[in-house]
Amino acid sequence: MNIFLQLFLSFFQVGLFSIGGGYAAIPLIQVQSVDIKGWLTLAEFADLVTIAEMTPGPIAINSATFVGMKVAGLGGVLAATLGNILPSCIIMIILAKLYEKYNKQTLLKDILENVRPVVVAAIFTAGLSLLQLAIGSIALGLEALDLFAIIVFVLAFLLLNSKRIKVGPILLLVVGALVGIGYALIRGMV
C-alpha cells in the first residue's frame, strides 16, 4: 500500500476515534505510529509528544505533521495532517446540525456526560505511559529511575497546581527546556 495512503488512513483513524481532543489522541497515535506501523520508536514517540506540546497548535495535528515528515517528507505531512483533520470536520458539521435540532433532549446530555469519564481515563493512561518513559520504570527497579527527571516532574507539578505561585505552562515549558539544556551541558562536562 502506498505510504501516503497508509499515513492518511492511520491518522484518519486517530482523528475519527480521538474523542476528547488532542490528549485523548496520544494513545491512538502511539498505537498507530509505534506499535502497528513501526514508524517511530517509543523514545521517538516521547520526543514527538514533547515537540507537539511545545509547538503552537493542536497536539494531534502537530503529531501527524511530525510523523508525516519523518516517514514521507512534505507529501507525508499533507497526507497525515489531512487524514487527521478530515474526520473532525465531517463529524463537527454533522454534530452541529444534530445539536441544533436535538439540544433539548436529555438523551444527548446523558451521552455526553457518560463519555466524559472515558475520555479522562484515556488521557490518564497516556499520561502514565509518558510519565513512566520520562522518569523511568519502577518495575525495572530503582536504578532505572531518573532522579533528576523525578525532581523536575515534582517541581513542575507543584508549580502548576500552586495556589500561591502562579506559573503558566508556557513559562514552565521554557524553563524546563533551559534546565534540560543546562543539565545536558553539565553531564557532558563531568
- 115 and 165 in a single domain? The answer is no
Residue 151 belongs to what domain range? 146-190
- What total number of domains does the chain contain? 2
- pTM higher than the cut 0.75: no
- The answer on pLDDT for 71 being more than 90 is yes
- 92 and 167 in a single domain? The answer is no
- 131 and 188 in a single domain? The answer is no
Pairwise CA distance, residues 26 & 40, whole Å: 13
- 160 and 116 in a single domain? The answer is no
- 134 and 160 in a single domain? The answer is no
- The answer on pLDDT for 138 being more than 80 is no
Q: What is the pLDDT of residue 8?
A: 97
